[in-house]
Chain A
Amino acid sequence: MDLNQLWRIISTPDNVPIVLLMIVVPFYTWYGLSQAFANDRLVVQLEADPALAKTHHRKTQPWKPGWARDVHVWPYLLRIEFLAAIIVTLILMVWSITLNAPLEEPSNPTLTMNPAKAPWYFLGLQEMLVYFDPWIAGVVMPTLIILGLMVVPYIDENPLGNGYYTYKQRKFAIWTFIFGFIILWVSMIVIGTLIRGPGWMWFWPGTTWDHNRLEFTVNRDLPDVFGLKGRVAKIIFGAIVMGLYSVAGAIGIHKLLNLTPFARKIYKRMSLVQVVVMQVFLISMLALPLKMVARLVFRIKYVWVTPWFNV
């Protein structure tokens, strides 16, 4: 156990935001979901009692007859905003007084930093470089993430849960987002910050960063595992594997979306275009953890090998 190394990583000024991230993300997940569960309990109560559903104000917030529905922005909202501004300023001040922004040696193209890390919010992409070629990790995946986020409102046909926290009414959507945001995005940032050391090798927290460590791993391409030789055979084989994965993924997602009567009802509302778009993005998203497993567990480098690109 090398606590000194661990402390050096955690207390590197530029890593402090990640430590902060590891606190606020779980906190706000809990904060949001606990409100979701409270609303879900209310929904159960109202569904069991139609008479109550007619009269209830349908929020977990307190309500008394005779209360005004609206309040003045001044002072009721503006005072919160001013207070928030003061608090944020204070936090930023204290943070800036206690911790100095990093400044390394002057830039030097002949002296490579090891490890050379991207800013923390791009560490997810840099981590992907381990599993994919740069054109996928650096260009295709970011594009898919941005486009995928943009289409979310246009493929989510579930009319429930508009403007209130809920888990029960939007299970699939919530799980998808938590999977993408927390399990893929945030945890890859954490891995990139705390675990990746020199040579972008895996150092468990608490172990020493050994700059001379060498790793001998033999990664093989999937076609080679199957003993394929010819170039054309490899291209066709890769295309078939990718096709099989897509079909299997599509069927699996289709099954998932028909799991419960409620899910089926929502699924029926979707147009064909919506289904296809959603499938494309979900299948691409799932490819990432699958490729990670293939690489880390089965030592597979590429699945689809062609003269122009490798996947």
Chain B
Amino acid sequence: MPEKNGTDGPNGAAGNGSDSSSAGGNGAKKRVAVIVEGAKAVRTQATQEIKALKHPEKTDLWKSMLRVKHDETPRSRALGVLSNVFLHLHPAKINRDAVAYRYTWGMGGMTFYVYITLVFTGTLLMFYYHPSKIVAFRDILYLEHDVPFGKLLRNMHRWGAHLMVIMVELHMFRVFLTGSYKSPRQFNWVVGVILLVLTLLLSFTGYLLPDDQLGFWAVTVGTNMARATPLLGHDGPFGRQLGMTPFNDVRFGLLGGSIVDANALLRAYIWHCVAIPIIASTFMVVHFWRVRKDGGISGPAPVMLESEIKEPRKF
């Protein structure tokens, strides 16, 4: 708050008002006048400060948090975005057409938002879940029936995961339809494909965690394919010839055993809650960084005509 100790602070005014009864006549009147005056000063100061609260962005507290003055100038608007850790991935200004929803469908951004929601709800779920064959299923029942809002929490995590997969695919579809993977954004498309795979793996590893029939058989079907990996699976082409058995092939490595059991549950848990989120977050940072470094969103760019194609580079 602005520190205006201009005239009489509250301390100065109220200081010696206590012995007003002992002195007589003139002295008492003077004292009353002083007190009234002091009270008035406090009142004006209070109203001033309350008025100042209508502009919290002008207070020292606010400035200390956000580091920029909040004036109505283009400069401070730009700084408000650039000097904020959460917003600084944005440029200060962008092309007026690039904010049109119909170009990007907002899909990349919404995918990221759903991912954040999933991290949030997932962390809350972790408070109630033990990745152990004995209690995992019971933890889910407990969550659904006894934990306040537990059911809502679980539902949000489940449907959010589905939503994220749908959105990632649509995001890829839009990037393709707009040709946004073309130079200079080729590599960001590759990063995107990695993110797509990681999104699917995140969803898949989470499927086993409730330890119910649905997840168990889905993961059994899924990992059974791994046993057929060429060279590295015991049922795959040339696997036997290379000495693969159910106890040393890739599937064994994935499950921590030859069947989907306690070790598989623990492995799924660690991949799902620790490893893949860290890897995916890292790739997302790279992805967003590249969007900026490649010159921001690709369009909507002015259309190019066939007659304007430049000669290809020669070898």
Contact = CB atoms under 8 A, between A and B. Distances in A.
Interface string A103-123: 111111101110011111110
B101 A80 contact: yes
Contacts of A146: 193, 197
B13 interface: no
Contact of B96 (A60, A68, A100): A68
Contacts of A113: 213-214, 217
Nearest to B236: A135
Interface stretch (A40-48, A207-215, A241-249, A281-289): A40-48
B303 A59 contact: yes
A166 interface: yes
Contact of A70 (B95, B183, B196, B310): B95
A96 B155 CA distance: 5
Contacts of A33: 177
B105 interface: yes
B211 A106 contact: yes
B113 A159 contact: no
B179 interface: yes
B159 A101 contact: yes
Given A100-B155, A163-B178, A92 B217 contact: no
Given A152-B189, A154-B186, A162-B298, A21 B166 contact: yes
B267 interface: no
The 4 closest A-B pairs by CB, nearest first: A138-B225, A163-B301, A163-B299, A58-B302
A172 B172 CA distance: 18
A72 B100 contact: no
A309 B237 contact: yes
Interface in A31-74: 31-33, 35-36, 39, 42-43, 46-47, 53, 57-61, 67-74
Contact of A153 (B80, B162, B182, B306): B182
B296 to A, nearest CB: 10
A150 B193 CA distance: 6
A279 interface: no
A58 B299 CA distance: 12
Most buried by B among A137, A150, A265: A150
B280 interface: no
Interface stretch (A82-90, A224-232, A291-299): A82-90
A3 interface: no
A78 interface: yes
A129 to B, nearest CB: 8
11 contacts: A32-B173, A73-B90, A73-B91, A81-B109, A93-B156, A113-B213, A119-B218, A120-B162, A138-B225, A170-B179, A177-B176
B151 A116 contact: no
A134 B228 contact: yes
A20 B164 CA distance: 12
Categorize the interface residue count of chain A.
35 or more
A159 B182 contact: yes
Interface stretch (B20-28, B33-41, B199-207): B199-207
A139 B155 contact: no
Given A77-B99, A96-B155, A140-B230, 4 more contacts: A76-B96, A84-B113, A101-B155, A111-B213
A33 B259 CA distance: 47
Contacts of A105: 212-213
Contact of B189 (A104, A133, A153): A153
B263 interface: no
B293 interface: no
B51 interface: no
B276 to A, nearest CB: 15
Interface in B278-315: 298-307, 309-310, 312, 315
Interface in B209-237: 210-218, 220-222, 224-230, 233, 235-237
Contacts of B212: 103-107
A165 B230 contact: no
Contacts of A85: 113
A139 B95 contact: no
A264 to B, nearest CB: 12
Given A104-B212, A119-B203, A163 B180 contact: yes
Given A61-B97, A103-B210, A135-B230, A164 B222 contact: no
Given A59-B300, A89-B117, A111-B213, A118 B221 contact: yes
Nearest to A169: B306
B77 interface: yes
Contacts of A7: none
Contacts of A133: 228
A227 B247 CA distance: 40
B99 A71 contact: yes
